[in-house]
Amino acid sequence: PKKAVIIGAGIAGIASAIRLAVKGYNVEVFETNDYPGGKLSEIIVNGYRFDTGPSLFTMPQYVDELFKLAGKDPRTYFNYQKLDVLCRYFYADGTQISAYADTQKFAAEIAAKTTDTASSVIKFLAHSRDIYTITNHVFLERSLHRLQTYLRWDTLRSVFKLPRIDAMRTMHKANSSFFKDSRVVQFFDRYATYNGSNPYQAPATLNVIPHLEHHFGAYFPDGGMYSITLALEKLAEELDVKFYYHTKVDEVILQQGIVKGIKVKDKVIWSDIVISNMDVWFTYKKLLSGHIKLHPQKTLNQERSSSALIFYWGIKKPFPELDLHNIFFSDNYLLEFDHIWKKQTIYHDPTVYVNISSKLNTTDAPEGCENWFVMINVPADSGQDWDSQIAAARQNVISKLSKVLGVNVGSLITTEAVLDPRSIEFKTSSYKGSIYGTSSNSQFAAFLRHANASSKIKGLYFCGGSVHPGGGIPLCLLSAKIVAEMVTAN
Ligand code: FAD
Model confidence band, residue 440 (pLDDT cutoffs 50, 70, 90): confident
Does the pLDDT of residue 154 top 80, yes or no?
Answer: no
Indicate the CATH number for domain 3-39+61-75+225-302+445-489.
3.50.50.60
* 0.90 exceeded by pTM: yes
Boundaries of every domain in the chain: 3-39+61-75+225-302+445-489, 121-212
* Per-residue model confidence as pLDDT tens digits over 387-434: 999 999 999 999 999 999 999 999 999 999 999 999 999 999 999 999
Total residue length of the chain = 490
Ligand 1 atom, smallest distance to 466 CA: 52
Quick one: average pLDDT of 347-373? 98
C-alpha triplet 119, 121, 124: angle, nearest 5°:
110
Q: What is the pLDDT of residue 41?
A: 98
> Nearest residue CA, atom 45 of ligand 1?
472
Output the CA–CA distances (angstroms, integers) from residue 305 to 10, 142, 373, 402, in the order listed. Answer: 18, 22, 21, 30
Residue 137, helix vs strand vs coil = helix
Stretch 197-220: mean pLDDT: 95
Beta-strand relationship, 242-244 and 26-30: parallel
SS3 15: helix
Q: What is the mean pLDDT of residues 164-182?
A: 94
pLDDT tens, residue by residue, 59-107:
999 999 999 999 999 999 999 999 999 999 999 999 999 999 999 999 9
For residue range 212-259, what is the model confidence (pLDDT) as tens digits? 999 999 999 999 999 999 999 999 999 999 999 999 999 999 999 999
Name the nearest CA neighbour of 298 among 279, 323, 321, 281: 281
* Residue 295 backbone dihedrals phi, psi, to 5 degrees: -80, 130
51 has pLDDT over 70? yes
Cα–Cα separations (whole angstroms), residue 321 to 97, 108, 325, 356, 359: 12, 20, 11, 12, 11
pLDDT at 356: 98
- Mutating to test ligand 1, I would choose from 39, 357, 373 the residue with most ligand atoms within 8 A of its C-beta, which is 39
Convert the pLDDT of each residue in 112-137 to its tens digit: 999 999 999 999 999 999 999 988 87
Instruction: Look at 161 and 210; give whichever has higher pLDDT.
Output: 210
Average pLDDT, the chain: 95
For residue 150, the model assigns a pLDDT of 59
Bridge partners, residue 251, by sequence: 263
Determine the pLDDT at residue 140.
72
DSSP 346: -
Report how far residue 318's alpha carbon sits from residue 406's, in angstroms, rounded to the nearest whole number.
13
| pLDDT mean over 468-485 | 96
CA 4 – CA 364 distance, rounded (Å):
37
Q: What is the pLDDT of residue 160?
A: 58
Q: How confident is the model at residue 147 (pLDDT cuts 50, 70, 90)?
A: low
pLDDT exceeding 90 applies to what percent of the chain?
89
Q: Whose CA is nearest to atom 12 of ligand 1?
A: 8
Q: How far is the CA of 13 from the centre of ligand 1 (A)?
A: 10
Judge contact between 135 and 208, C-beta under 8 A: yes
In this structure, what are the phi and psi dihedrals at residue 235, rounded to the nearest 5 degrees?
A: -60, -45
Give the pLDDT mean for 375-385. 97
What 8-state DSSP symbol labels residue 304?
A: B
C-beta of 12 in contact with ligand 1 (< 6 A): yes
If DSSP codes are grouped into helix, strand and coil, which group holds residue 453? Answer: strand
Alpha-carbon torsion (198, 199, 201, 206), positive or negative: positive
Contacts 24+ apart (CB under 8 A), 327-330: 327/87, 327/88, 327/89, 327/90, 327/190, 327/351, 327/352, 327/353, 327/354, 328/90, 328/352, 328/353, 328/354, 328/400, 328/401, 328/404, 329/89, 329/90, 329/91, 329/92, 329/183, 329/186, 329/190, 330/92
Q: Residue 252: enclosing H or E segment and its boundaries?
A: strand 251-255
Q: What is the pLDDT of residue 145?
A: 67
